[in-house]
């Protein structure tokens, strides 16, 4: 059993807590019309059917619909429909507003799949082409369920450690939390916190791994403890949707503290990637452009996200305010961007190699097998990336 806790489990209890404390809601679900087969619309400049793509490009996400998934929902036009039995929606796959000749199905993760990881889903549902897989999770699972990533829509991981700036006005970083011996609440099995401990950034005795995702302890302690979260969600939720707190928190991204994994990469089984290489040569640039288009004008895709949240009714709470904050924060914090070049979505070899060096000892100590001769470059490929597409 792998030791890394998935994002979906981490956010489950947060959603429940926000539901109890905030009681916010999304928008009314709606469908732009039936999408039971191929659209009758004319195919635009990009023909994914001619490129050999499946008639339905099925993509597994890692959680309920949210703005971090926005580029996928940017692929949809007005003509889509929900399947609430499996928490998915399907519609003609659009490229900058033009039909591509195939459909896309976006499947919710988390509670919709019993909190299984997308990697597990890729190996149990042969209809899937791609799923969200973090690079550390890919290393963790590689011996039994290898995956190959073709795109990294997020440049930086949204995960962070937050604290109360009123209680700790001199704290500006996770390292400061370590120096001042401030308790840090995390979920158990967090690879990044194990690396922080091993690197001396924080000490083991200041880490409380009993965090349950709820804001109750943070509130009861009056902000005397720090805790993990997502920079693109919790700061807004705590200030605006948790009335018992109702004020700002400060934070540092784990990326900026030195743990620079790629979160939510679009990956598939290596044999599936190989078999669909012609498709992916055409599809990945469409996904790159959808990433750029979404952050330039997110309202239409966010409306679909909010409609999906309400249609699926899993207990996940997601408001317009959180969606708007998420997009703004993703851009302002560089969670999305071109990285060190002018291209969105590509992988940097040194970064993946460094991450492997960081997590391999942790996984080995936990009894997780890393295959002999494994090389970090087996985790990703830039083969399908169009270097001309970027922010």
Q: Give CA–CA dist 329/23, Å, rounded.
A: 23
Residue 36 is predicted with a pLDDT of: 47
Range of the domain at 374: 7-155+261-379
What are residue 268's phi and psi, to 5 degrees? -145, 175
Residue 354 lies in a domain: yes
Residue 303 domain-assigned?
yes
CA distance 324 to 233: 10
In the chain, the number of structural domains is 2
248 with 265, same domain: the answer is no
Shared domain for 277 and 303, answered yes or no, is yes
Exposure string (b/e) for 290-328, b if CB count within 10 Å is 16 or more? bbbbbbeebeebbbbbbbbbbbbebebbbbbebbebbbe
Is there a single domain that holds both residue 268 and residue 249?
no
Asked if 207 and 136 sit in the same domain, the reply is no
Question: Is the predicted pLDDT of residue 388 greater than 80, yes or no?
Answer: yes
Is 386 within a domain?
no
Looking at the chain, list the stretches that DSSP marks H as alpha helix, in order from N- to C-terminal side. 7-21, 70-73, 118-124, 135-141, 174-179, 191-198, 216-220, 234-240, 270-275, 277-296, 299-312, 320-332, 349-365
Q: Is residue 192 part of a domain?
A: yes
Q: pTM to 2 decimals?
A: 0.89
Q: How far is CA 341 from CA 61, 149, 263, 313, in A?
A: 27, 19, 19, 40
Q: pLDDT, tens digit, for every residue of 203-214?
A: 999 999 999 889
At 213 the pLDDT is 85
Spatial contact of 183 and 279, defined as CB atoms under 8 Å apart: no
- Predicted pLDDT of residue 87: 97
One domain, residues 144 and 165: no
Does residue 390 sit within a domain? no
Same domain, 11 and 114: yes
Asked if the structure places residue 388 within a domain, the reply is no
Q: Is residue 183 part of a domain?
A: yes
**Percent of the chain predicted with pLDDT > 90:** 86
Q: What is the pLDDT of residues 211-252, one digit of tens each?
A: 988 999 999 999 999 999 999 999 999 999 999 999 999 999
The pLDDT-based confidence of 351 (bands split at 50, 70, 90) is very high
> Of the residues 209, 228, 253, which one is the last residue of a structural domain?
253
Q: What is the per-residue pLDDT for 188? A: 85
Looking at the structure, tell me whether residues 82 and 173 fall in a common domain: no
Question: What percent of the chain has pLDDT above 70?
Answer: 90
Contacts of 329 (CB under 8 A, 6+ apart): 231, 232, 235, 236, 335
Whether pLDDT at 37 is above 60 = no
More confident of the two residues 29 and 46? 46
Q: Please tell me whether residues 297 and 239 are part of one structural domain.
A: no
* Closest among 359, 338, 349 to 382, alpha carbons compared: 349
Q: Does the pLDDT value for residue 275 go beyond 50?
A: yes
Same domain, residue pair 143 and 181: no
Nearest partner of 322 among 218, 208, 242, judged by Cα: 242
Report the CATH number at residue 132. Answer: 3.40.190.10
**Nearest of 382, 391, 380, 383 to residue 148 by alpha carbon:** 380
What's the confidence (pLDDT) of residue 26? Answer: 32
pLDDT at site 25 = 31
CA-wise closest residue to 152 among 352, 312, 300: 352
Same domain, 303 and 290: yes
Whether residues 245 and 194 fall in one domain:
yes
The strand ranges marked E within 179-225 are 184-185, 207-208
Residue 76's SS3 state is coil
Q: What is the 3-state secondary structure (H, E, C) of 267-280?
A: EECHHHHHHCHHHH
Q: What are phi and psi of 103, to 5 degrees?
A: -95, 165
Report whether pLDDT(158) > 70. Answer: yes
282 and 342 together in one domain: yes
Q: Give the integer Cα–Cα distance in Å for 125 and 130.
A: 11
- The confidence score (pLDDT) of residue 33 equals 41
Bridge partners, residue 94, by sequence: 99
Residue 355 tokens read as 């991450």
Q: Is 387 a domain residue? A: no
């Amino acid at each position: 059993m792998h030791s890394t806790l998935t994002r979906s489990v981490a956010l489950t209890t947060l959603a429940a807590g926000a539901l109890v404390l905030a009681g916010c809601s999304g928008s009314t679900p709606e469908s732009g019309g039936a999408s039971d087969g191929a659209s009758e619309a004319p195919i635009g400049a990009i023909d994914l059917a001619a490129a050999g793509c499946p008639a339905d490009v099925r993509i597994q996400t890692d959680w309920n619909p949210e703005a971090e998934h926005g580029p996928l929902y940017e692929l949809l036009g007005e003509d889509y429909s929900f399947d609430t039995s499996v928490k998915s929606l399907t519609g003609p796959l659009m490229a900058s507003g033009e039909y591509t000749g195939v459909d896309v199905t976006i499947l919710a993760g988390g509670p919709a799949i019993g909190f299984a990881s997308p990697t597990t889903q890729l190996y149990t549902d042969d209809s899937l082409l791609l799923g969200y897989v973090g690079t550390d999770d890919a290393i963790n699972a590689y011996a039994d369920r290898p995956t190959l990533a073709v795109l990294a829509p997020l440049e930086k991981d949204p995960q962070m450690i937050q604290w109360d700036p009123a209680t700790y006005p001199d704290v500006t970083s996770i390292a400061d939390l370590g120096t001042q011996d401030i308790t840090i609440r995390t979920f158990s099995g967090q690879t990044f916190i194990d690396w922080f401990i091993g690197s001396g950034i924080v000490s083991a005795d200041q880490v409380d791994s009993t965090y349950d995702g709820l804001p109750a302890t943070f509130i009861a302690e009056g902000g005397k403890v720090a805790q993990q979260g997502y920079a693109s969600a919790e700061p807004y939720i705590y200030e605006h949707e948790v009335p018992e707190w109702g004020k700002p928190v400060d934070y540092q991204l784990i990326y900026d503290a030195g743990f620079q994994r790629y979160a939510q990469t679009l990956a598939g089984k290596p044999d599936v990637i190989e078999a669909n290489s012609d498709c992916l040569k055409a599809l990945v640039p469409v996904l790159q452009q959808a990433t750029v288009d979404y952050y330039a004008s997110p309202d239409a895709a966010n409306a679909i996200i909010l409609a999906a949240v309400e249609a699926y009714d899993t207990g996940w709470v997601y408001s317009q305010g959180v969606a708007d904050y998420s997009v703004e924060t993703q851009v302002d914090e560089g969670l999305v961007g071109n990285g060190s070049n002018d291209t969105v979505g590509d992988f940097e070899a040194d970064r993946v190699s460094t991450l492997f060096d960081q997590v391999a000892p942790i996984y080995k100590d936990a009894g997780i097998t890393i295959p002999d001769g494994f090389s970090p470059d087996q985790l990703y490929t830039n083969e399908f990336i169009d270097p001309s597409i970027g922010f």
